[in-house]
Amino acid sequence: MPAAPPSIPRHIAIIMDGNGRWAKARGLARIKGHEEGANAVRACVEACGELKVEFLTLYAFSAENWRRPKGEVFALMRLLEKFLKEKTPELQEKNVRLQAIGRLTDLPASCQRQLHESIESTARNDGLTLVLALSYGARLEIIDGIHSLLRELEGGHIDKAMIDVKMFSKHLYTRYYPDPDLLIRTSGEMRLSNFLLWQLSYTEMYVTPKLWPDFRKEDLFAAVEEFRQRQRRYGGV
Residues marked as catalytic: 17, 65
Nearer to ligand FPP, 72 or 144 (CB): 72
Binder among 8, 38, 56, 172 for ligand FPP (CB under 6 A): 38
Nearest distance in Å: CB 81, ligand FPP:
9
Nearer to ligand FPP, 148 or 193 (CB): 193
Nearest distance in Å: CB 36, ligand FPP:
8
Q: Which residues are CB-neighbours of 134 under 8 A, at least 6 positions away? A: 60, 61, 80, 100, 101, 102, 104, 107, 115
Binder among 77, 79, 163, 200 for ligand FPP (CB under 6 A): 79
Site string for ligand FPP, 135-164 (x = CB under 6 A): ------------------------------
Give the whole-angstrom CA distance, residue 168 versus residue 214.
37
3-state secondary structure of 96: coil
Taking CB under 6 A as the criterion, which residues in 188-227 touch ligand FPP?
212
Give the whole-angstrom CA distance, residue 119 versus residue 99.
6
Nearest distance in Å: CB 130, ligand FPP:
9
- 53 and 128 in contact (C-beta within 8 Å)? yes
CB count within 10 Å of CB 197 equals 14
Name the residue with the smallest CB distance to ligand FPP. Answer: 20
CA-nearest of 228, 233, 234, 232 to 8 is: 228
Give the whole-angstrom CA distance, residue 21 versus residue 112.
28
Residues that bind ligand FPP (CB under 6 A): 16-21, 34, 37-38, 41, 58, 60-61, 65, 79-80, 83, 132, 212
